Amino acid sequence: MKVAVIPARGGSKRIPRKNIKEFCGKPMIVYSIEAALQSGCFDKIIVSTDDSEIAQVAKSYGAEVPFIRPKELSNDYTGTIPVIRHAIEWLVEHGVDTNLVCCLYATAPFVTAEYLQQGLQQLEDNNAAYAFTVTSYAFPIQRAIKLNPELGVEMFDANNFNTRSQDLEEAWHDAGQFYWGRVDAWVNEKTIFGAESTPVILPRHRVQDIDTPEDWERAEWLFKALQG
């Protein structure tokens, strides 16, 4: 059985109620639920939440909320892997036999059914532990700078000052949309950013981290532009 687990706790600080705040006409979490449904990849789509309002919204759009996430897994310091492991252990305890689980973030309005399908295909074709979305940095990270306490400028690595951008190795980062994984990888808390993972490459215009009100506004502009 293939299961999507959408983590969605209620205690977002920087953008209050972020998971169900209206984004371009729908609660944010709905985009993830709809992409999961449209993909046809999943036997179950579960939302892991500690919040009754989030649970109600999730169920009204076709997801299941078979448990309420415990408080010890609902604070600001809880990582993704323990939350998915908890969901898997709940499924096992309730007789649900599953082999592949996809952690699908609730704040990923740019996620598509096609990329979820591609992630599953890559996971299976490469016999990988995980398949997750990545995108490239727009600027060479080797030429990154920082501001010192005196508001002066320093390079992180001054050795790259005279190196042409096109001669530097391209760098990639987690796109923060979904993480397909094998049950044993999740349960054993195997690292996601490792040699046993396969990258699902997204174009930069399909990636937007949403952590601040400014991020939210930019994401809505981009989303509307893509729809047009």
At residue 188, the pLDDT reads 97
Query: What fold does the segment set 2-134+173-227 form as a domain?
Result: Spore Coat Polysaccharide Biosynthesis Protein SpsA; Chain A (3.90.550)
pLDDT on residue 156: 96
Inform me whether the pLDDT recorded for 137 exceeds 90.
Answer: yes
Question: Rounded CA gap, 104 and 128, in Å?
Answer: 18
* Angle at 214 (CA atoms; ends 209, 220), nearest 5 degrees: 70
Band of residue 12 on the pLDDT scale cut at 50, 70, 90? confident
Q: Mean pLDDT over residues 62-76, rounded? A: 95
Residue 106, CA distances (Å) to 19, 27, 163 in order? 6, 10, 40
Domain residue ranges in the chain: 2-134+173-227
Rounded Cα distance between 104 and 70, Å, is 19
Asked if the model's pLDDT at residue 116 lies above 80, the reply is yes
pTM of the model: 0.95
CA contacts within 13 A on the Cβ side of 94:
8
Judged by average pLDDT, the poorest of 5-14, 32-41, 65-74, 155-164 is: 5-14
Asked if residue 126 lies in contact with residue 200, where contact means CB atoms within 8 angstroms, the answer is no
Amino acid at 20: I
Tell whether the torsion through CA atoms of 33, 50, 84 and 176 is positive or negative.
positive
